Amino acid sequence: MLIKRKRGWEIPESQATPERLYFSRRKLLGAGASLAAASLFPELANAQRASDVPDPTASLYPAKRNDKYKFDGKLTEERLAANYNNFYEYGTSKYIASAAQQLKIRPWQIKFDGMVEKEQTVDIDTLIKAVQLEERIYRLRCVEAWSAVIPWTGFQMSELVNFAKPLSSAKYIRMETFNDPKMAPEQRPGFLSDGNWPYIEGCSIEEANNELSFMVTGAYGKGGYKQFGAPIRLMQPWKYGFKAIKSIVRVTFTDKRPVGYWEKLQVQEYGFWANVNPEVSHPRWSQASERDIGTGERRPTVLFNGYGEYVAGLYKDMKGERLWA
Ligand code: MTE
């Protein structure tokens, strides 16, 4: 239980990580679980990407940058962004780049089901070749009050929706990450966040069709970046980063609002809409400012992470909803 509220940049990992995860991590370390613990220690030099299997889409990178989505400030240096990640399947540390290399990203299939014209399972390479890849520079704002500016490669999420052919009765999209303890030891029974896997996130169909919603297949001009959630993850830059689900294997169209991984774990701290708002504090820390992991500087957080012109309209009639995480 937190007694004294510190300023954001003073948040130790024990406060920024939900208690249930933090305590299970301590238990795990105490038990000397060497395999899982190995993924918790910093390996700053390691920004390696997939090299175990050929990527049939490799020739599509680097994709052309779409200058509509750019940022006037500095990009976060690749070696910094690729070595400071949240990917709890590989541990609660930020330094999971090395552990994440256990992820096998080929073959990789995505299942589309639920309220769709026809359920289908598609190979990731078929999907990537069916869409138009481009590069967009987006700001990433984690709910833990750190941020980065990253050139993502991918395609607009509306293309994914079109590909899936949802029924008009579908209102939400539920997405699921792989659940395979052989690739992610933290998913073994009795380990981190036991019973809460796979990682799940969701959004409304309107959000998915917003032009900013982006399915990411690569970063910094390359595909197959495992620590960034290869081979495919979501990026909705106006929301806190926990909505940006990585390594997706299933996309379900539904009329029921999905309950995400964090919402299930700690609903009082993490909600469904999770839009960035500097004026609404997290129950354990302020969201007024953020630490840029590239420069180390603090800067004021901006409503909708600065993307209000694109997305504020999505929420204007949602009275009584918990719009901010
Ligand atoms: N997706 C999965 N499957 N597992 C995770 O632990 N962490 C989320 C999100 N997507 C997470 C995930 C959180 S909390 C954040 S802030 C972003 O990924 C971090 O993305 P990055 O590592 O590319 O910076």
177 lines ligand 1 (CB under 6 A): yes
Q: Assess whether the C-beta atom of 96 lies below 6 angstroms from ligand 1.
A: no
What are the pLDDT tens digits along the chain (325 aa)? 122 233 333 344 444 555 445 444 434 333 333 333 333 334 443 444 545 678 999 999 999 999 999 888 899 999 999 999 999 999 999 999 999 999 999 999 999 999 999 999 999 999 999 999 999 999 999 999 999 999 999 999 999 999 999 999 999 999 999 999 999 999 998 887 888 999 999 999 999 999 999 999 999 999 999 999 999 999 999 999 999 999 999 999 999 999 999 999 999 999 999 999 999 999 999 999 999 999 999 999 999 999 999 999 999 999 999 999 8
Per domain, the residue ranges of the chain are: 60-76+105-314
Q: pLDDT value at position 21?
A: 52
- Please give the pLDDT value at position 78: 98
CA-nearest of 17, 84, 57 to 155 is 57
Residue from 110, 143, 242, 292 to probe ligand 1 pocket by mutation (most atoms less than 8 Å from CB): 242
Strand pairing category for 248-254 and 200-204: unpaired
Q: From the CB of 228, is ligand 1 less than 6 Å away?
A: yes
DSSP 8-state symbol, 34: H
* Distance in angstroms (rounded) separating the CA atoms of residues 312 and 303: 9
Please answer whether residues 44 and 77 qualify as being in contact, where contact means their C-beta atoms are separated by less than 8 angstroms. Answer: no
pLDDT of residue 7: 31
Q: What is the pLDDT of residue 51?
A: 55
Q: How far is the CA of 169 from the centre of ligand 1 (A)?
A: 30
**CB of 245 closer than 6 angstroms to any ligand 1 atom:** yes
pLDDT at site 35: 30
- Nearest CA residue ID for atom 22, ligand 1: 85
**229 CA to centre of ligand 1 in angstroms:** 8
Hey, whose CA ends up nearest to atom 13 of ligand 1? 242
Q: Which CATH architecture has domain 60-76+105-314?
A: Alpha-Beta Complex (3.90)
Residue nearest to atom 3 of ligand 1 (CA): 246
Atom of ligand 1 at shortest distance to CA of 199?
Answer: 3
State the pLDDT at residue 135.
98
According to the model, what pLDDT value does residue 53 have?
79
pTM of the model: 0.88
User: For residues 118 and 165, is the Cβ–Cβ distance under 8 A?
Assistant: yes
Mutate which of 86, 90, 178, 240 for ligand 1 pocket (most atoms within 8 A of beta carbon)? 86
The CA distance from 218 to 154, in Å, is 7
pLDDT of residue 190: 85
CB-ligand 1 contact for 140 (6 Å cutoff): yes
Question: CA distances (Å), 198 to each of 212, 289, 320, in order?
Answer: 25, 31, 30
Amino acid 14 reads S
CA–CA gap between residue 104 and residue 230 (Å, rounded): 9
Q: Nearest residue CA, atom 5 of ligand 1? A: 87
Protein residue whose Cα sits closest to atom 21 of ligand 1 = 85
- Ligand 1 atom 17: residue of nearest CA: 241
What's the gap in Å between 87 CA and the centre of ligand 1? 5
Q: Which atom of ligand 1 is nearest to the CA of 241?
A: 16
**Ligand 1 pocket: which of 22, 84, 87 to mutate (most atoms <8 Å of CB)?**
87
At 70 the pLDDT is 82
249: left (phi over 0), alpha (psi -120 to 50) or beta: alpha
Predicted pLDDT at 163: 97
